[in-house]
Amino acid sequence: MPRVLKTSTAHLHPRNWGQLIQSRRRSFWIALTTLALTIYFLTHEGRTQFKRYAPSLSTADTDYPPDYTKLFEWEMNLPQHNLSLPFPEGKTGRYVIFKNQIQMLGYNNQLNEILMNTWLAYKSKRAYVWQDFYWNPKHYPWPEHKHREPLPRTPLNALITGPSAGGPWEPGDNAPRSISEAWYHIVCPRNEVKLLNTHDIKPPVWFEDGKIIFDHWQKVLTDAPERCIEIHGADFSEDGNPQVFDLFLWGGPRVLSLWEDFKNSPVSRLLSTSPLVQAAVDKNKYLFLPRGPRPAGPASNNPFDRMLAIHLRRGDFKEACLGFANWNSTFYSWDLLPELPDPFINPPAPNYEWGKNEPQNIEYYMKRCYPDDQTILEKVKKAREEYVRAAKPGEFRQLDVLFILSNDKTGWVDGLKTIFKDDGWHTVVTTRDLELSQAEKDIGMAVDMDLARLAAVFVGNGWSSFTSNIVHRRLVDGKEPISIRFF
């Protein structure tokens, strides 16, 4: 038999009418309240209050700084962080922390010191104590209300890998491995720490050659009997740059006497790209695949072998260039190496006044420090032609990929990109074209640097520490001097 659907009629009984009327009144008031709220939220004032008190109902903002908890844990669990290890590590090991190291300045100003201080610690038979990279909040990629900490920081191992960040030395090298600042406070209790101040040690070698400064500090650190040395800077009223290797050393030719030993040191040779940076490079490699016509010869399939990278500082760098001009400054650090093409010769200034250069000299500085579009185009053409012409017998060189490293945020770099495409460059990539995750955005400067390191040719800014550290990596990698140029 077919199934019969039964419908109850109990609700129609007179004794249920009161409940029915009460239920309908409740539904009426609910509907009226909902309508009123809807009208309210559709008004400007309502929308404002809604956004203020109910942000969870709006589109979620996922652009926040990365959480490095796991990386900090990984650092803390490094094998050298063990009190039971035998000398020269563990609770009987010898350590040095440079509390006078630059912080809250650009990454590359800090990287200079990190590497040279590691080399000094190594030569002094002490473990270097690395510190996190602390940002100047003005330059941090996220606004203050998104900061995870009052002073934003990035773990050193997010930026680099190698002995400076706790990596191993070469097989057979028994030098103590670097430790984190967090572990330093465990392995070096305060009653075992010797405080040194640059006020007492720096003056005898203040303006000496770099090698003399290095040897002076090496003797101090080697001869000190204390296990744990903590170096502090003199008061700023006495020394505005109280580092062991200060700005006046890095900013002139006195640093060059350290080059050969430093370049060949395990600190330099074992410095490498961090896994986080490498992942970003690998992910973006497809952007650099050549898109032009087939090469006339057997060109490499690796896009970086066919890439010319140029470093163009913009933003507030114009004011910095004017400062370099008025102080008649030379190139910076390793950019001064005499084997590199395009040296900067300070122009004669018979009427120079302290802190104020002559107008024609300022113009000369600006052309090389803050070049215009035509100057950039001409330099790239020259660098390309001379690199190709320097090919060894039987070697085919092809440069058809251009990478523009720039901090420009005005759209100027997009116009420059068009100029280069009109000039015959089929593949042009800029810093802004890179696809970066949250964590990769935090280390974007290191990603840019590694791409420039890999390029066949690099044209940089001779007054820039960013350029100088790329020059260091390229020369340690064995790149030819002709592949390193300056505007």
What pLDDT sits at residue 263?
Answer: 99
The yes-or-no answer to whether 69-269 and 276-486 have a common fold is yes
Tell me how many degrees the CA angle 177-179-181 measures, rounded to the nearest 5.
Answer: 160
Q: Show the beta-strand stretches assigned E in 218-257.
A: 228-232
Listed by start position, the domains of the chain span 69-269, 276-486
Tokens 């695949």 sit on residue: 289
Residue written as token pair 């700084």: 65
In tens digits, what is the pLDDT along the chain, a chain of 487 residues? 333 333 333 333 333 334 433 444 444 444 544 444 444 444 444 333 333 333 333 346 778 999 999 999 999 999 999 999 999 999 999 999 999 999 998 899 999 999 999 999 999 999 999 999 999 998 999 999 999 999 999 999 999 999 999 999 999 999 999 999 999 999 999 999 999 999 999 999 999 999 999 999 999 999 999 999 999 999 999 999 999 999 999 999 999 999 999 999 999 999 999 999 999 999 999 999 999 899 999 999 999 999 999 999 998 899 999 999 999 999 999 999 999 999 999 998 888 888 889 999 999 999 999 999 999 999 999 999 999 999 999 999 999 999 999 999 999 999 999 999 999 999 999 999 999 998 899 999 999 999 999 999 999 999 999 999 999 999 999 999 999 999 9
Measured CA distances, 55 to 40, 52, 65 (Å): 17, 6, 19
Answer whether 178's CB lies under 8 Å from 289's CB: no
Return the closest-CA partner of residue 210 out of 167, 173, 175, 260. 260
pLDDT at 379 (0 to 100): 99
Domain 69-269 adopts which CATH fold?
Answer: Rossmann fold (3.40.50)
Q: Within a 10 A sphere around the Cβ of 455, how many other Cβ atoms?
A: 27
Top-level class of domain 276-486: alpha beta
Q: Where are the alpha helices (DSSP H) in 224-313?
A: 247-250, 259-264, 266-269, 275-284
pLDDT of residue 60: 62
Looking at 209-338, list the stretches that DSSP marks H as alpha helix, in order from N- to C-terminal side.
210-223, 247-250, 259-264, 266-269, 275-284, 317-326
